[in-house]
């Protein structure tokens, strides 16, 4: 594959339309590449300037305002596949302009790139330079000066570096498709099928969005900003230091007799959240609280107050390819990474309570229960751990009783939390020293507990050791360490020398694949129109009240599964509420009474 003998065209006359039609009809085509150039990145505000169609040899660009009928006609007549790079973006813009490219006919080379090269940029030019022709990386150089002066929305259509750059994108996409498609089909066809399909489901979630109590958000934003200003005045008056000055705060605390042992990457004394939480001093508490409220006000409440649409709906961006394991990410705002709720951080509840149900709707929350631990038990095929999941009662209580040989351990016993922390440390590949530091317990206690855990659940350590060995083997014979997730068939890569992280990548990858599979099943079951936010292993819906009982039934049927990880059961928990921060466990009678009595506000 290369860019030699590639032909690029601008449709700017009826004669060129005729030439394009002749090219389109000259031979049967299994696929066409498509793309568009827009005035910006927001499909709700920006519009298309250029449309593009092509194959591996030729690319055609046309001014959308004059010649969009060309695309409309081809979409109606083409029965093969449509291939795009970040196809979701282009389909959205074209759909807003009245041209609907059928989702079921679309393949996306960006998704393929993420599966094949999860450690690499998925940008088209970089992928094409890597796999098609090194010259692809130079395609934008001639455009740079014009873009800097005029912006993407101001470059003249007839400016050749602009339209030829656009037309070339379809050629690069087509050639990248022909490189990536056979690899994806050989390595991970199931993973690609799910990844390609779920992005259309999450785009619908973005469109639906979440309703915001704007007045409540703005009121608390003002309160938080006023509090932060008061803390700064108090800090200067009491201690002669601004709370944002780490050096000054550390000096005051050291003079008060406090010592610091944690350092930043550069070697400076650390004053992060973990350090501040461990200091019992008025200044430390004030600095921590101010940081929390500043972050909440700037990262969340500002978005809530300023970026809703005319109906008070916020539309966060959902990136289904957010991490190389396949986990999703969000932005504008990042509702997956809200501050943790705790007695010391009431602001976390306020952030959630800004998200409210639509009128005569209920928010429904469905969350997988201990899904990562269940996947660990499945991958390790550990009989005792599997039995702990299949037995009655709390899973971590069952684990603690097995490790400590004590059937009197209950949910409030500290030993239960110790085993829970150890279990997740196994998943996240945290060493004993790190565990001891995080838990604030002696290192020997962690070592002894780990030995007891490994003795009772030997399959876990065998799984971890075997995964490391597989990674090392693949590094020797394939150039990079990786292991394959048996659920998705996808390769999960790690940095050379860090093969111990592969067990975590496999678990996270399996969890992401399972979650996305369930989103597709929920969409197929008719719930897609009400799904609004994916949060790690939880899906949040905003459902009309007359549909709530049926929706809860479907959620319970889909999200609880005894087959996919057999013999480990997958279980979920359903809750409901009218503000995100005030959800409670699902109870049909209670919910019905609250709706009837008018409490559903």
CA–CA separation, 289 vs 292, rounded Å? 5
CA–CA separation, 502 vs 19, rounded Å? 53
CATH code assigned to 7-187: 3.30.420.10
Which homologous superfamily is 372-501 in?
5' to 3' exonuclease, C-terminal subdomain (1.10.150.20)
At residue 140, the pLDDT reads 65
**How many other CB atoms are found less than 10 A from the CB of residue 262?**
12
At residue 429, the pLDDT reads 85
Task: Say which CATH architecture domain 211-358 belongs to.
Answer: Up-down Bundle (1.20)
With contact defined as beta carbons under 8 Å apart, do 512 and 504 qualify? no
At residue 267, the pLDDT reads 84
The structure tokens listed for 219 are 């009121």
User: Tokens 């050629």 correspond to what residue?
Assistant: 171
At residue 114, the pLDDT reads 95
At residue 261, the pLDDT reads 83
At residue 196, the pLDDT reads 98
The domain ranges of the chain are 7-187, 211-358, 365-370+510-597, 372-501
CA–CA separation, 176 vs 115, rounded Å? 14
State the Cα torsion 198-204-205-207 to the nearest 10°: 150
At residue 143, the pLDDT reads 67
Pick the CATH number of 365-370+510-597 from 3.40.630.30, 3.40.50.300, 3.20.20.70, 3.30.70.370: 3.30.70.370
At residue 152, the pLDDT reads 63
With contact defined as beta carbons under 8 Å apart, do 85 and 108 qualify? yes
DSSP string, 410-424: -TT-HHHHHHHHHHH
Alpha helices (H) in 311-370, listed in sequence order:
346-353
DSSP string, 57-104: SEEEEEEHHHHHHHHHHHHHH--SEEEESSHHHHHHHHHHTT----GG
The structure tokens listed for 468 are 């490391």
CA–CA separation, 53 vs 160, rounded Å? 17
At residue 587, the pLDDT reads 97
pTM given for the model: 0.92
At residue 42, the pLDDT reads 85
Report mean pLDDT in 10-residue bins for the chain, 601 residues. 87 97 94 95 89 97 96 96 97 95 97 93 93 79 66 79 93 97 96 97 96 95 94 95 92 90 85 88 92 90 90 94 90 87 77 96 97 96 94 92 93 92 90 78 87 94 97 96 95 94 96 98 98 96 98 98 95 97 96 88 60
- Could you tell me how many residues make up the chain? 601
Continuous segment of H or E residues that includes residue 316:
none
């Amino acid at each position: 594959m290369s860019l030699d003998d590639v032909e690029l065209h601008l449709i700017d006359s009826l004669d060129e339309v005729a030439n394009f039609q002749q090219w389109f009809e000259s031979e049967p085509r299994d696929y066409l590449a498509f793309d568009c150039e827009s005035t910006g990145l927001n499909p709700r505000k920006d519009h298309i300037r250029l449309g593009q169609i092509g194959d591996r040899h030729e690319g055609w660009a046309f001014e959308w305002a004059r010649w969009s009928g060309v695309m409309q006609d081809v979409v109606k007549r083409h029965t093969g596949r449509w291939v795009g790079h970040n196809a979701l973006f282009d389909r959205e813009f074209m759909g807003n302009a009245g041209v609907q490219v059928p989702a079921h006919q679309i393949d996306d080379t960006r998704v393929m790139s993420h599966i094949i090269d999860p450690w690499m940029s998925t940008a088209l030019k970089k992928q094409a330079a890597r796999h098609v022709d090194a010259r692809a990386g130079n395609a934008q150089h001639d455009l740079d000066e014009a873009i800097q002066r005029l912006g993407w929305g101001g470059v003249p259509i007839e400016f050749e570096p602009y339209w030829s750059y656009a037309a070339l994108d379809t050629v690069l996409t087509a050639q990248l498709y022909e490189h990536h498609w056979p690899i994806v089909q050989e390595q991970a066809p199931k993973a690609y099928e799910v990844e390609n399909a779920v992005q259309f489901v999450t785009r619908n979630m973005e469109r639906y969005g979440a309703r915001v109590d704007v007045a409540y958000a703005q009121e608390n934003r003002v309160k938080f900003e006023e509090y932060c200003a008061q803390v700064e005045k108090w800090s200067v008056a009491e201690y002669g230091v601004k709370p944002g000055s780490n050096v000054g705060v550390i000096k005051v605390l050291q003079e008060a007799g406090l010592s610091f042992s944690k350092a930043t990457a550069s070697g400076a004394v650390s004053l992060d959240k973990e350090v501040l939480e461990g200091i019992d001093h008025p200044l430390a508490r004030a600095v921590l609280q101010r940081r929390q409220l500043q972050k909440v006000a700037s990262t969340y409440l500002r978005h809530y107050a300023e970026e809703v649409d005319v109906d008070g709906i916020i539309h966060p961006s959902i990136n289904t390819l957010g991490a190389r394991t396949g986990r999703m990410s969000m932005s504008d705002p990042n509702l997956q990474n809200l501050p943790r709720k705790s007695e010391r951080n009431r602001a976390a509840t306020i952030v959630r309570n800004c998200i409210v149900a639509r009128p005569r709707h209920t928010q429904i929350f469905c969350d997988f229960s201990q899904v990562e631990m269940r996947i660990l038990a499945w991958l390790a095929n550990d009989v005792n751990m599997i039995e702990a999941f299949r037995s009655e009662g709390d899973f971590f209580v069952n684990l603690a009783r097995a490790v400590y040989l004590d059937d009197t351990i209950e949910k409030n016993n500290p030993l239960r939390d110790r085993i829970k922390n150890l279990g997740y440390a196994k998943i996240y590949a945290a060493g004993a020293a790190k565990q001891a530091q995080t838990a604030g317990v002696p290192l020997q206690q962690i070592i002894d507990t780990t030995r007891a855990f490994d003795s009772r659940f030997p399959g876990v350590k065998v799984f971890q050791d075997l995964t490391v060995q597989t990674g090392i083997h693949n590094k020797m014979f394939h150039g990079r360490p990786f292991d394959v997730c048996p659920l998705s068939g996808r390769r999960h890569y790690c940095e050379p020398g860090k093969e111990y992280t592969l067990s975590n990548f496999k678990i996270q990858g399996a969890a992401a694949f399972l979650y996305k599979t369930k989103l597709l099943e929920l969409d197929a079951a008719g719930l897609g129109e009400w799904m609004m936010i994916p949060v790690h292993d939880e899906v949040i819906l905003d459902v009309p009240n007359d549909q709530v009982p049926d929706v809860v039934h479907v959620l319970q049927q889909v999200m609880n599964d005894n087959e996919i990880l057999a013999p480990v059961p997958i279980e979920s928990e359903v809750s409901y509420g009218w503000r995100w921060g005030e959800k409670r466990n699902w109870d049909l009678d209670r919910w019905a009474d609250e709706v009837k009595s008018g409490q559903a506000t």
